[in-house]
Structure 1
């Protein structure tokens, strides 16, 4: 039986004349582990929440023990431009599954002045780094936390009728697209993916570079087929932001069969319709899932409604997008957020907006 623990961690950056720009543009403070597991690996500062603590209080205690931060130095309402040295803001919560251990991670963003004194009372090594370009070893949940910053809040899903090329005049309004693979047009799938990449490469530098891996203002292309990805050349693979599994594929997955990323900023997602599928996605540490059908009945399953969606979201250990009769409107987006979701996804009603 798996053990479980809840922790709080912090993405700590120095305020140097600008605000928080994301973990790739602000070097983040890491501390080196001095015990097993992951001995000598670097991790985000923080630690276990005690039974009498809330996540923020636990974080303050841990940072005092690990980094010498003064508990009275915190502003609990501002991240920067704060009257106190340490600004803090809650960011997100996920659960990461290691072998035999499930770790619920409360993630905070902290800002400190450039001159703020940092020392480890425990004698551990502390460094400001970017793990995406640094050769040191980092615990695996680090990269999953970094990927949280560009999980889409609005995901366009292509169909035979609606796709990237049907709305070229509105291309700047689409930040994330999943190129869906339909069983009856499998031969066209790889050429369609290649066609999309070639179109993006022909655009101006500002536009096409937004599809390349980074953690600030990125545009995403998610595809449904790993063979298609493997067929791409090295440069074209950089434009693929991740891989999506349908629910039938998900039921056959385990960690050994899971797609191996070539970049730590590539996402893995899946479609889910029930608790069984969500539990599989949880065990695989997927980056996000799409739950459907929310507002429309399908031939093989009734609609969930927002209450049913909310119940399934509560079972998920990652961000969740709502799909099924969803419109690309503020109203549906707000309902998804109020139901615990991260955002919305759509096909016909999304593309019809254009």
Structure 2
């Protein structure tokens, strides 16, 4: 898969457990059908009988599993796409391995059983007192030959003679119906208790330092988290005063949100325009604007890292800070993400809101549509 450009993500490391469960299930089905064949038949007849009984069922289940996983490629989560590609492809190859390689091993074991059966049928001399030992060595220790010389597994006997009659009794049927009704009721109640969200502490190991950090943040600073960075892209240095007014309108719109605190907002462009106006400088003049910027940053070093100036004295991008508040649940996180992003998109200046936790908050929006 790496050769065709499908990257390996850590989520794929969990796929062997899923693949092993599906593959072993098919192997058990084939072994069960093999044990029901007659020992007196040759290996070719026994293997043909096994494939005639189980090949269709394991083929259909494999196809449905592979198609279900390949359908997951349409999800918007990239890591889940790679997981579905790796797991679906591996299941497909495992299916071919089961019907070829594993069938060959069963044929070899059938040859062994045929030789052992011939050995058991040899007449014993009076000196031979180990027929039970020969029997236990040749036949599986947990199988019993019946009159037709076929193996009946003890578990088959249990379900046939014990569990089947027990389950079909009147008391058992009433009990099963009651359990099913309780299951349906609890499922319906559970649907109303489902809460959307993701606790970031669950993404770290139990002994990680992140866990106590989030605990302190939740207990003490939950009112003022998370803070948002406003990224101004491709800021033009002509008509700064007009752009500043447009930015002010958008900042006012952001600050009117229930999740934004107006006081801690820090935007260097707002402060710089006010600084130039107090100094009676022409804000709209590009040379004056760029020449006065180093002096402004010297007097206000807080904004030094908020601007990205190219070698040609052009402002490539810049950033500001807006403080959110009252984000105490996953529902609030989802609302603040969608609300502030929609307001930022209305700004005529290319504006983007960002926080490090948005990579997790982004998962809340597509979860429902991908699940349904």
Q: TM-score range by the shorter chain?
A: under 0.3
Which structure carries more helix by proportion?
2
More RCO (CA 8 Å, sep 6+): 2
- TM-score (norm. length: structure 2): 0.21
- TM-score (norm. length: structure 1): 0.22
Which structure carries more strand by proportion?
1
